[in-house]
Structure 1
Amino acid sequence: MIQDLKKLFGSTLEEELLLEINQVATYKEISEGNKILEIGEYIRSMPLLLSGVIKILRQDHDGDELLLYFLEKGDTCAMTLTCCLGHTKSQVRAIAETDVSLVMIPIRKIEEWSGKYKSWRNFMFNSYHNRLNEMLFTIDTIAFLKMDERLLLYLEEKARISEDGIIKNTHQEIAYELHTSRVVVSRLLKKLENLGKLELHRNYILMK
Structure 2
Amino acid sequence: MKEYLETYFGHFEQGLKDEIVKNGRLRTFAEGIQVIGSGELMKYTMLVIKGRLKLYTDGENGEEFFMYYLEPGQACALSFVCAARNRKSDLEAFAVEETEVIMIPIGLMAELMVKYKSWYIFVIETYRSRYKELLDAIRSVAFHAMDERLEYYLIKQKNTFGSTTLSLKHEQIANDLNSSRVVISRLLKQLELKGKVKLLRNAIELKF
Normalising by the smaller structure, the TM-score range is over 0.9
TM normalised by structure 1 equals: 0.94
Distance in 1, matches of 2:61 and 2:143, equals 24
Where does structure 1 differ by over 3 angstroms across 4 or more consecutive aligned residues? none
Matched, 1:150 2:153: no
TM normalised by structure 2 equals: 0.94
User: What residue in structure 1 maps to residue 173 of structure 2?
Assistant: 174
User: What residue in structure 1 maps to residue 8 of structure 2?
Assistant: 8
Shift of 1:65: 0.7
1:34-62 Cα offsets, whole Å, 9 max, x none, are 21111011110001111222111111122
Residue pair 1:57, 1:65 contacting (<8 A) in 2 also = yes
1:173-206 Cα offsets, whole Å, 9 max, x none, are 1111111111111111101111111111122112
- Give the match's secondary structure for 2:73: coil
Give the aligned CA root-mean-square deviation in angstroms: 1.3
Residue pair 2:83, 2:107 contacting (<8 A) in 1 also = no
Distance in 2, matches of 1:138 and 1:127, equals 17
1:121-142 Cα offsets, whole Å, 9 max, x none, are 1111111111111101110111
User: What residue in structure 1 maps to residue 50 of structure 2?
Assistant: 51
Distance in 1, matches of 2:157 and 2:122, equals 26
1:36-115 matches, cutoff 5 A: 36-115=35-114
Residue pair 2:29, 2:99 contacting (<8 A) in 1 also = yes
User: What residue in structure 2 maps to residue 138 of structure 1?
Assistant: 137
Shift of 1:3: 0.8
Residue pair 1:45, 1:104 contacting (<8 A) in 2 also = yes
User: What residue in structure 2 maps to residue 128 of structure 1?
Assistant: 127
Residue pair 1:53, 1:161 contacting (<8 A) in 2 also = no
Shift of 1:81: 1.3
Distance in 2, matches of 1:116 and 1:134, equals 29
Shift of 1:117: 0.8
- Give the match's secondary structure for 1:63: coil
- Unmatched runs of 5 consecutive residues or more in structure 1: none
1:139 partner letter: I
Distance in 1, matches of 2:144 and 2:20, equals 42
Distance in 2, matches of 1:99 and 1:149, equals 31
Distance in 2, matches of 1:31 and 1:163, equals 21
1:76-96 Cα offsets, whole Å, 9 max, x none, are 122221112211111001111
Shift of 1:164: 3.2
1:100-159 Cα offsets, whole Å, 9 max, x none, are 211111011111111111111111111111111110111011111111111111112222
User: What residue in structure 2 maps to residue 201 of structure 1?
Assistant: 200
- Unmatched runs of 5 consecutive residues or more in structure 2: none
Residue pair 2:51, 2:98 contacting (<8 A) in 1 also = yes
Residue pair 1:51, 1:101 contacting (<8 A) in 2 also = yes
